[in-house]
Amino acid sequence: MTPSSTGPERLSGVTAIILAAGVGSRMHAAQPKVLHPLLGRPMALWVVEAARSALNDPALLLLSPATASLHALAPVGTLRAEQLQPRGTGDAVRCALLALPAGVSEVLIACGDTPLLEPSSISALIATRRAARTPIALSAFHADDPTGYGRVELNNEGRAVRIVEERDATEEGRANDLVNAGLYAVERAWLEVALSALSPSTESGEIYLTDLVARAAEEGKPAPVLLGSGVDLEGVNDRRQFADASAALRERINAAHLERGVGMMDPTTTWIEPTVSIAADVMIEPNVMLSGNTSIGARTRIEAGSRIRESEIGEGCTIRASDIDSSRIANGVDVGPFAHVRPGCTIGAGSHVGNFAELKATTLAAKVKVGHHSYLGDTIVGEASNIGAGTITANYDGEKKHATKIGAGVFTGVGTLIVAPLTMGDRSKTGAGAVVLKDVPAGALVVGVPARTVGGA
């Protein structure tokens, strides 16, 4: 469920070209800017999603060798083109056109660094161009701080005659707060001719896509300007804008969940990725992160400080200040505080995983108790067994991992050490501090170091 998946009917015959071959040097990061994830989704793919909600035809990602990995993360069917050197946005679109399918007569050009873009802004801009019958239309907004943006100059009719980049603007030009959003609807045939006529800026050597606006005006068809909101059209160039965009996306996602009946004590500290599904009547406390392919069942309570990734949590569970990764938790389970459920665990209905318990690739049947300070790795535990405080499976011999099988109704004493591989039979017991080196028969009681059978069986 993505908030951007709702909206007006999708348009056909328009391909979105999303520019994502730039470096993004203002982020001061080794990773190219458009790859930085916001709520788990790389920045440029938020734009792809917006285009997907607005348009029927697949989007075209314009990538550099450094951002090529984006394509594998994009929706199936997304087209790609490559720009080998970042020679500017005009050059980027030239490269994109080489991969544009024949038969596409209209394009929507968006920047991969505008993750807040709404599908409705895309549809409205296309409609604006169609209605005006001009070769190009663009989106603009009045910026509180226009620094870094291209400034849009209008004629008497409110059409754009020119875009002047910040670095080329005069002081007077910089005072103009009407800025170019970097979102354009363009007729393909015109674009191909107009782009081939652009020459590099004498200042930067880059080819500016924005020069198309002056060209359209010179041809007597100045571009209509669709005025949008700065919140949706803002570009992310630096870490400050990145943090602001993260917060805005978080708010959008949380608003949709709240509306459906998911409770949150403090939505400003609740981070839910767009891939997460949550039933109504779940309650989420502050400082919680839910990510990846995660689902949360009804009446479950996720308490403060929990982080859950790629996991399925059943109904009526309580998760307290715990870290759960790539695991499945059935109904009515309580976990934590401070438990670590590592990848590959399955926890049966009504089980209890207590404080400072660590589980890895472990399956607990129903009604198992792992109360305190335990480590179970590569272990299967049968129904209603009680794992005593500080029970540890020694599953690693320095070379290989070994499995432990604990039957149903087993009771391990405090501080039991189980040296895998071994099996403990149903209803067997260990005394406190037992070091178990051999299989324990069903119903037996073993004690000591190494553990010997003293009763039962």
Interface with Ca ion by CB under 5 A: which residues?
113, 235, 237
- Residue 235 touching ligand UD1 (CB under 6 A): yes
- 252: DSSP letter: H
Q: Which stretch, 111-119, 326-334, 379-387, 446-454, contacts ligand UD1 (CB under 6 A)?
A: 111-119
Exactly one of 17, 19, 191, 434 binds ligand UD1 (CB under 6 A); which one?
19
Nearer to ligand UD1, 59 or 272 (CB): 59
Q: 193-212 mask for ligand UD1 (x: CB under 6 A)?
A: ---------------xxx--
Q: How many CA atoms lie within 13 A of 323 on its CB side?
A: 9
- Whether 36 is a known active-site residue: answer no
Residue 51 binding ligand UD1, by CB under 6 A: no
CB-closest chain residue to ligand UD1: 150
The minimum distance between CB 119 and ligand UD1, in angstroms, equals 18
Query: CA 102 to CA 52: how far, in whole Å?
Result: 20
x/- contact string, 29-48, with ligand UD1 (CB under 6 A)?
Answer: -----x--------------
Report the distance separating Cα 436 and Cα 457, nearest Å. Answer: 16
Chosen from Ca ion, ligand UD1, none, partner binding at 20 (C-beta under 5 to 8 Å by type): ligand UD1
Q: Shortest gap between Cβ of 2 and ligand UD1 (angstroms)?
A: 21
Residue choice 35, 60, 62, 365 for contact with ligand UD1 (CB under 6 A): 62
- Residue 438's contacts (CB-CB under 8 Å, 6 or more residues apart) are 422, 450, 451
Do 307 and 319 touch, CB atoms closer than 8 A?
no
DSSP state of 114: -
CB of 62 to Ca ion, least distance (A): 14
- Among residues 20, 74, 282, 420, which is the contact residue for ligand UD1, using CB under 6 A? 20
Residue 288, classed as helix, strand or coil, is strand
210 vs 327, beta carbon nearer Ca ion:
210
Length of the chain: 457
Cα(62)–Cα(423) distance, integer angstroms: 56
How many residues touch ligand UD1 (CB under 6 A)? 29
* Alpha-carbon separation of residue 270 from 117, 250, 408, 445 (angstroms): 22, 8, 39, 48
**Per CB under 6 A, does 242 bind ligand UD1?**
no
Judged by CB under 6 A, the stretch of 1-9, 88-96, 290-298, 388-396 that binds ligand UD1 is 88-96
Name the catalytic one among 28, 36, 71, 372. Answer: 372
* Nearest approach, Cβ of residue 221 and ligand UD1 (Å): 20
Shortest spacing between CB 382 and ligand UD1, in angstroms: 55
User: Partners of 283 in the beta sheet?
Assistant: 263, 301
Stretch that binds ligand UD1, among 180-188, 272-280, 385-393, 419-427 (CB under 6 A): 180-188
Q: Are 300 and 290 in contact (CB under 8 A)?
A: no
Structure token digits, residue 340: 């670590």
b/e per residue 88-101 (b: at least 16 CB within 10 A): bbbbbbbbbbeebe
CB nearer to ligand UD1: give 12 or 170.
170
**Residue 201 beta carbon to ligand UD1: minimum distance, rounded to whole angstroms:** 8
Q: What is the dihedral of CA 149, 181, 249, 254, to 10 degrees?
A: 130
What does 88 interact with, of Ca ion, ligand UD1, none (CB < 5 to 8 A by kind)?
Answer: ligand UD1
Enumerate the β-bridge partners of residue 318.
Answer: 301, 334
Question: What one-character-per-residue DSSP string does 57-124 give?
Answer: SPPEEEE-GGGTTHHHHSPTT-EEEE-SS---HHHHHHHHHTTSPTT--EEEEEETT-TT--HHHHHH
Pick the closer one to ligand UD1 by CB: 94 or 309. Answer: 94
Q: Which of 4, 15, 78, 89 binds ligand UD1 (CB under 6 A)?
A: 89
The set of residues, in sequence order, having a beta carbon less than 8 Å from that of 321 and lying 6+ positions away, is 303, 304, 305, 306, 336, 337, 338
Cβ(382)–Cβ(410) under 8 Å?
Answer: yes
Binding site for ligand UD1 (CB under 6 A): 19-22, 34, 62, 83, 86-89, 91-92, 111-113, 149-150, 163, 165, 179-182, 208-210, 235, 237
Catalytic residues, by residue number, are 372
